[in-house]
Amino acid sequence: MARLTEPGIPARRRIGGSYTTFIYDGGISMAIAEVIMGVKATWAAATTAIETRDAVKMNELKLTMSNQLLELYTAAFALHEEKAALADAKRELENEVAQLRQQANRLAQYERMRTPAGAVVFVDKTTMDSTDGAVYACASCMDDGKVSTLQPLHAGRQLRCPVHGDVGLLTEPVRGPIGMLLPKRT
């Protein structure tokens, strides 16, 4: 059998006094080995405890970060919805402005005038000097922002608004119902 120790050193020997007894076994003290194993076990237990504590702390940090991330996503989603609502409102306002400009341009082509009979109407500037006759619009409709073309009645002596009724154009008499003559011509 091979020897585990150096020549001249006994294989096992008791060393120590009354308080401590070490057994020398081929160059390694058994008490030191036990201490080392105890330290290793303590180290492993401490490491496990630290890892567990660290894992708990990491889980707490992860939970805190997840809550903050959720709040951030919620705020971002609210901002996105607000941005979309503002974009819709902007689009509606742009459409309204475009309609108002179009209406203003259409109303700008008319000029206010008083008929010989005293009624206030609007006349289309582009047709004032037309051989076909001017195109008239109702003043009450224009005040509402609408253009209602007045249709001629009684050989052009009166104009009719489809909303507000008849408007006098000339002071000449018109024939009433049943062929009766209303005010005489002057």
Residue type, 144: D
Q: What six digits make up the tokens of 13? A: 């020997």
Compute the average pLDDT of residues 22-29. Answer: 52
pTM of the model: 0.45
Out of 29-33, 111-115, 131-135, least confident range? 29-33
Looking at residue 120, what DSSP letter applies?
Answer: E
Bigger pLDDT: 130 vs 100:
100
- pLDDT-based confidence at 110, cuts 50/70/90? confident
How many residues are there in the chain? 186
Average pLDDT over residues 14-27: 52
pLDDT in tens, 40-72: 888 898 888 888 888 888 889 899 999 999 999
Confirm if 124 and 109 have CB atoms less than 8 A apart: yes
**Does an H or E element contain 160, and which?**
strand 158-161
Q: What phi and psi values does residue 21 have, to the nearest 5 degrees?
A: -125, 120
> Distance between CA 60 and CA 80 in Å, rounded?
30
